[in-house]
C-alpha cells in the first residue's frame, strides 16, 4: 500500500518537476543582450539584419521579409537545444562558422534563399546542445564575428493601421498573419509531428510554412519565404508556383536528422496582390497543413 502511494505521489509531482526544469529565459536574455518571445515550450530570439540594405531587382527588401537571423531554445537549463538561421554576408560566413564549430555547434545547412540580390546574402542553419546559458554565450560570440546588430533593440514604433494588402492576403489565405515593420508574415504549421533528435519541433523552430509579404507599389506586393515540404509535395508545389509566375529560388535541407525528411523551397515574386495571393494559396493546397 505504501509503495502504491509513493508511486502515485511521484507521478502527480512530474508536471511540477518538469516545469521547474524549464528554461530560465532571464539568463538567456542576459547572455544574448536582448529578450525574446515564448511560444509553448520554445523561447525564440530575433536578430534582424537592420544594418544591411539589400535589394532584389531594384526593390529594397525590409529586414522582416528575408533578413531575419533567429535562435530558438527548447529543453531545460541543464539540457537545452538551440537551432536557428543566421543571415550573413559572404565575408562573415567563415568566421561565424568557425566560432560555432569551436563551441560544438552543428552546422546543418549553408545556402542561398534569394537570387540576384545585392549585396549577396548567405544563410547558415545551425543546432547546438548543452547548457542553455553556455549555448547563448557561444551563439552571441559567434554573431559578434559578423556585423549583426547585437545591442538591445529600441522600443518598436507604434503600430499603424495595416495597409489594404494585409486584409486581401489574409482573406485569400484564410488565416491571420502578423504585420510588423512593414511586413506581413504567416507561419502555417504542418499537419504531422516533425521530430529532430527525437524531440518534437514546433513552428517557432522553423518547421512551419513561412510566407512573408511587403508592399511593392500601389496594389503590388513582393513575397518570399519557404515552403516546408515532404518529398511527394515538392513538384506539385513547384508547378503551382510556376503557373502563377512565382519563381522558385532554392530547394534544399535545413536540418540533418529530421523525421519525416523535409525539403525547404524558397520563392520570390513581385506582382499584384491578388495574383500573388492566388499563387501562394494554390501552392498551399498541395501541402499537408493544419
pLDDT of amino acid 152: 86
pLDDT tens per residue, range 33-46 = 999 999 999 999 99
pLDDT of amino acid 95: 98
pLDDT of amino acid 278: 98
**CA separation for the pair 260, 234 (Å, rounded):** 14
pLDDT of amino acid 58: 94
pTM of model > 0.85? yes
pLDDT tens per residue, range 183-224 = 999 999 999 999 998 899 999 999 999 999 999 999 999 999
pLDDT of amino acid 19: 34
Q: How many of the other CB atoms lie within 10 Å of CB of 89?
A: 17
Q: What residues contact residue 217 under an 8 Å CB cut-off, 6+ apart?
A: none
pLDDT of amino acid 154: 75
Segments in the chain below pLDDT 70: 1-21, 156-157, 159
Ordered domains of the chain (ranges, CATH): 22-143 (no CATH), 164-284 (3.90.1150)
**CA separation for the pair 256, 253 (Å, rounded):** 8
Question: H or E segment at 38?
Answer: strand 37-39
Q: How many of the other CB atoms lie within 10 Å of CB of 58?
A: 7
Question: Distances in Å between the alpha carbon of 290 and those of 76, 122, 154?
Answer: 28, 31, 35
Amino acid at each position: 500500500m505504501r509503495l502504491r502511494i509513493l508511486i502515485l505521489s511521484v507521478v502527480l509531482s512530474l508536471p511540477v518537476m518538469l516545469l521547474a526544469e524549464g528554461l530560465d529565459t532571464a539568463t538567456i536574455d542576459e547572455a544574448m543582450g536582448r529578450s525574446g518571445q515564448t511560444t509553448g515550450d520554445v523561447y525564440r530570439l530575433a536578430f534582424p539584419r537592420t544594418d544591411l540594405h539589400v535589394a532584389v531587382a531594384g526593390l529594397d527588401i525590409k529586414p522582416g521579409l528575408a533578413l531575419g537571423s533567429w535562435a530558438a531554445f527548447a529543453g531545460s537549463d541543464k539540457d537545452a537545444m538551440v537551432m536557428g538561421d543566421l543571415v550573413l554576408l559572404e565575408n562573415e560566413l567563415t568566421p561565424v562558422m568557425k566560432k560555432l564549430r569551436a563551441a560544438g555547434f552543428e552546422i546543418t545547412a549553408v545556402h542561398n534563399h534569394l537570387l540576384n540580390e545585392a549585396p549577396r546574402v548567405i544563410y547558415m542553419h545551425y543546432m547546438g546542445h548543452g547548457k542553455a546559458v553556455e549555448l547563448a554565450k557561444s551563439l552571441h560570440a559567434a554573431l559578434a564575428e559578423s556585423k549583426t546588430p547585437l545591442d538591445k533593440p529600441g522600443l518598436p514604433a507604434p503600430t499603424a493601421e495595416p495597409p489594404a494588402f494585409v486584409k486581401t492576403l489574409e482573406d485569400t489565405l484564410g488565416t491571420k498573419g502578423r504585420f510588423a515593420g512593414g511586413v506581413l508574415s504567416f507561419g502555417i504549421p504542418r499537419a504531422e509531428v516533425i521530430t529532430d533528435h527525437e524531440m518534437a519541433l514546433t513552428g517557432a523552430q522553423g518547421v512551419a510554412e513561412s510566407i512573408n509579404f511587403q508592399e511593392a507599389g500601389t496594389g503590388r506586393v513582393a513575397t518570399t519565404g519557404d515552403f516546408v515540404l515532404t518529398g511527394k509535395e515538392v513538384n506539385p508545389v513547384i508547378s503551382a508556383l510556376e503557373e502563377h509566375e512565382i519563381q522558385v529560388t532554392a530547394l534544399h535541407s535545413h536540418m540533418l536528422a529530421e523525421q519525416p525528411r523535409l525539403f525547404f523551397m524558397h520563392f520570390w515574386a513581385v506582382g499584384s496582390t491578388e495574383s500573388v495571393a492566388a499563387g501562394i494559396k494554390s501552392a498551399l493546397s498541395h501541402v499537408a497543413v493544419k
